[in-house]
Amino acid sequence: MSTHPIPVITIDGPTASGKGTVAHKVAEHLGFHLLDSGALYRLTALQALRRGTPLNDEHALAKLAEHLNISFTGDAIFLAHENVTDAIRQEEVGNTASKIAAFPTVRTALYGLQLGFRKTPGLVADGRDMGTVIFPHATLKVFLTASVAARAERRYKQLIGKGIPANMEDLLMDLKARDDRDTNRAIAPLVPAEGAHVLDTSEMTVETAVAQVLQWYAAVGK
């Protein structure tokens, strides 16, 4: 049996920094598993909104998180066999996810679930606290960032492309509010992990960002 730990690449960063796309492509290139940790919070938020769970009832939300029946198949995300890939990308769900992610019991409920994604041959994990809290001993830690304007523009194009109406001013306000919540929360605030490579993608193509992450990973020496 190999004594080498299963390699983990963590890619953290704020909303719409491109971390999801970069993580997906890096995982694809390396043949690694992918953990979209933000999706877990979004799934909890979606379930809470659907069930009418009060968004200030921390324990009820944690219970929901604990009993999520989820599966990731390729690009699709399933909640109890229903494809909710697009449903969890709605702005209301994203904003709700950001609010409930501030609750310690919700984060604890999802902690073990996230650790379970670490399987051979390796894992690429994207989120906000992958390198700081979930996988502090990751092989490579990356912190992806971009200006609020660049991120709002990306989110706008993303939504319009999916036929979802969007307003640039509202998106900017939402992103700033989310950033504020994420960086200032008491538990697992959004900060670059110790030893993380910071990559500003404001003026960068996805391909360039992916190539840089792969280059860093190659340099770590498996």
Q: Is residue 220 part of a domain?
A: no
- Beta strand pairing status for 123-127 and 82-83? unpaired
Round the average pLDDT of the chain to a whole number and report it: 92
Binding residues for ATP: 13-21
pLDDT tens digit sequence for 43-85 = 999 999 999 999 999 999 999 999 988 887 777 899 998 999 9
In this predicted model, what pLDDT tens digit does every residue of 98-146 receive, in sequence order?
Answer: 899 889 999 999 998 899 999 999 999 999 999 999 999 999 999 999 9
Residue 2: pLDDT band (50, 70, 90) is very low
Q: Is residue 222 part of a domain?
A: no
Inter-CA distances, 139 with 6, 32, 207, Å: 9, 13, 22
Give the mean pLDDT of 14-39. 93
Give the domain range for residue 69: 8-215
Query: pTM of the full predicted structure?
Result: 0.87
Token pair 């999801």: residue: 20
Reduced to 3 states (helix: H, G, I; strand: E, B; else coil), residue 89 is helix
Residue 183 lies in a domain: yes
pLDDT of residue 13: 94
Kindly state whether residue 3 falls inside one of the protein's structural domains: no
pLDDT tens per residue across span 137-151: 999 999 999 999 999
Into how many domains does the chain fold?
A: 1
pLDDT at 3 over 70: no
Is 48 part of a structural domain of the chain? yes
How do residues 158-181 score in pLDDT, each as one tens digit?
889 888 888 999 999 999 998 888
Residues belonging to the binding site are: 13-21
Among 135, 168, 166, 138, residue whose Cα is nearest residue 151: 168
Residue 169 included in any domain: yes
Q: Evaluate whether residue 221 is within a structural domain.
A: no
CATH number at residue 76: 3.40.50.300
The alpha carbon dihedral of 58, 59, 61, 66 has a sign of: positive
Is residue 1 predicted with pLDDT exceeding 50? Answer: no
Task: Say what percent of the chain tops pLDDT 70.
Answer: 97
Checking if the pLDDT of 88 tops 70, the result is: yes
Quote the pLDDT of residue 151. Answer: 94
Whether 43 maps to a domain, the answer reads yes
